[in-house]
Amino acid sequence: MSNTVNDYEELAQRLRDAELLASCASVLSWDEQTHLPTGGAEHRSNQLGLIAGLAHDRKTDARIGDLLASLESSRDLGDPDGDVAVNVREARRTFDRATKLPKKLVEELSKTTSLAQQAWVDAKKNADFPSFQPWLEKIIGLKREEAAAIGTTTGVPYDALLDDYEPGMTAAQVNAVFEPLRKELVALVSAIQQSGKVAPLEIVERHYPQVPQRVFAEAAARQIGFDFDRGRLDESPHPFCSGFGPGDCRLTTRFNDHHFNSAFFGVLHEAGHGIYEQGLPTAAYGLGIGQACSLGIHESQSRMWENFVGRSRSFWTYFYPTAQQAFPTALGGVASDDFYAAVNDVRPSFIRVEADEVTYNLHIMLRFELEQKLLDGTLLPADVPAAWDAAFERDFGMRPAKASQGCLQDIHWSGGLVGYFPTYALGNMYAAQFFETARAELGDLDAMFAKGQFKPLKSWLNEKIHVHGKRYTAARLVEVVTGKPLTSAPLVQHLQTKFSALYGI
């Protein structure tokens, strides 16, 4: 037993140190995206490269392999869902993934994606897919090598990549929940369009000065439970949330003077990620129990606060008078029902990041469909624009006029993030299923929101989801919290109820 205790303590210490080092890189990257002068870019990339190498060396140190082997052969790890067993299991997972990849492949991927992202920026700007095609070919080739090096029990290469973002989930499982969702969404979008009702979008496109936007968004983030003594909000061109570690979680947003939704719902979204990060057990920093369950579960937290709470009628019952005070010129004469309709506008559009709550998931499923085909070789990179446009017309009834509105709009593939997209729609489904259970267990959430009471929901999420870190896979967490496996039914139910009322269908 004492050997096991010593081995475990040493392992935990090594993992914490590796995470501390990696978190220094997060601070530098946050600074790069918020404050760095352009002249400092090269020096910063050298700093980040050095730290990434040092952190990788620590995470793949052979001593970690020895400690894991010794711990796994002992019988003292206790309950398989207990902290010690989970931390050892997760350390093994990370160690295996890191050590299975040949260093040459890691370097090649890092170099290629860095150049490919620059090529993508230009290709997108000029709507010029052929200039990006060789990069996509190279990246897909490297990602196939990565999948082969990692290996899967299913024999499906895509699963090896998906597992990095959504541990334990397979493409077949994702398809099983996506397919019924797609049918319902296509029907709902079509019913909304046929309703003849059009949301008064112009209301959210009036002039919204930046200072009150910031004050109002921060107040809302604070009210839903983001702790500004352990975090802060800054500006960056691409909004994100970065949890540096215990007591320090950074949110960013961007302000658009003529679009209310961009910063406000962006801040609620990132604050949802931040509340999750702030709810992770600090004593387990660097260990499995101290880390977020999966990207999909992370996204479920941001989407819940952004959409299920922030775009609800009851949320605006509470916040609308404050919004009118903050923006008297834009909103002084606007009825709260019209404002509520405007922030819930649904209409097919080309750009994923600007999509509404209903059509968003269709954007994701299209990407998921194409990237699976790219990886198994049934779709060649050269044929991506045509395949994209055809799939888009099938799902949205319209065709992008240029590649920048189609297959070139997202940064993910150029950055080597293949297998990442489905986590966004999974996040919406997890959120819906968690929210349904929260409603059943906590009572009338809408009555609470209408009075500005968000603490019951926040504490419920802390207790049911955040404190567990990686104790369960996402699929098991859903079962443990909601008593049922993941299905698309709660999301479909949520969207149908909400938008039937809004569009009178």
Nearer to Zn ion, 302 or 312 (CB): 302
- From the list 112, 125, 323, the residue with the least C-alpha distance to 213 is 323
Name the closest residue to Zn ion (Cβ).
Answer: 302
Nearer to Zn ion, 26 or 302 (CB): 302
Nearer to Zn ion, 302 or 372 (CB): 302
Query: x-or-dash pattern for Zn ion, window 371-390, by CB under 5 A?
Result: --------------------
Nearer to Zn ion, 164 or 205 (CB): 164
Query: Per DSSP, what are the bridge partners of residue 235?
Result: 253
List Cα–Cα distances, 261 to 6, 213, 218, 237, 302, in angstroms: 52, 10, 14, 15, 15
In the complex, least distance from residue 275 CB atom to Zn ion, rounded to whole angstroms: 12
Stretch that binds Zn ion, among 178-186, 223-231, 297-305, 396-404 (CB under 5 A): 297-305
Q: Is 102 helix (H, G, I), strand (E, B) or coil?
A: coil
Catalytic residue among 146, 270, 277, 306, which?
Answer: 270
Stretch that binds Zn ion, among 35-43, 104-112, 194-202, 298-306 (CB under 5 A): 298-306
Locate the DSSP E strands across 108-256: 231-235, 241-245, 248-253
Q: Is residue 302 a contact residue for Zn ion (CB under 5 A)?
A: yes
Rounded CA separation 221/271 (Å): 6
Cβ atoms within 10 A of the Cβ of 226, count?
A: 28
Q: Is 9 a known active-site residue?
A: no
Q: Is residue 253 a contact residue for Zn ion (CB under 5 A)?
A: no
AA letter at 25 = A
In the complex, least distance from residue 286 CB atom to Zn ion, rounded to whole angstroms: 23
- From the list 205, 222, 206, 225, the residue with the least C-alpha distance to 214 is 222
For the purposes of burial, counting CB atoms within 10 Å of the CB of 377, is it exposed (0-12), middle (13-18) or buried (19 or more)?
A: exposed
In the complex, least distance from residue 253 CB atom to Zn ion, rounded to whole angstroms: 12
Rounded CA separation 439/447 (Å): 11
In the complex, least distance from residue 261 CB atom to Zn ion, rounded to whole angstroms: 15
CB 242 within 8 A of CB 271: no
Nearer to Zn ion, 204 or 271 (CB): 271
In the complex, least distance from residue 302 CB atom to Zn ion, rounded to whole angstroms: 4
State the number of binding residues for Zn ion (CB under 5 A).
1
Q: Is 439 helix (H, G, I), strand (E, B) or coil?
A: helix
Stretch that binds Zn ion, among 295-303, 348-356, 458-466, 491-499 (CB under 5 A): 295-303
Q: Active-site residues: which are they?
A: 270
Residues found near Zn ion in the complex (CB under 5 A): 302
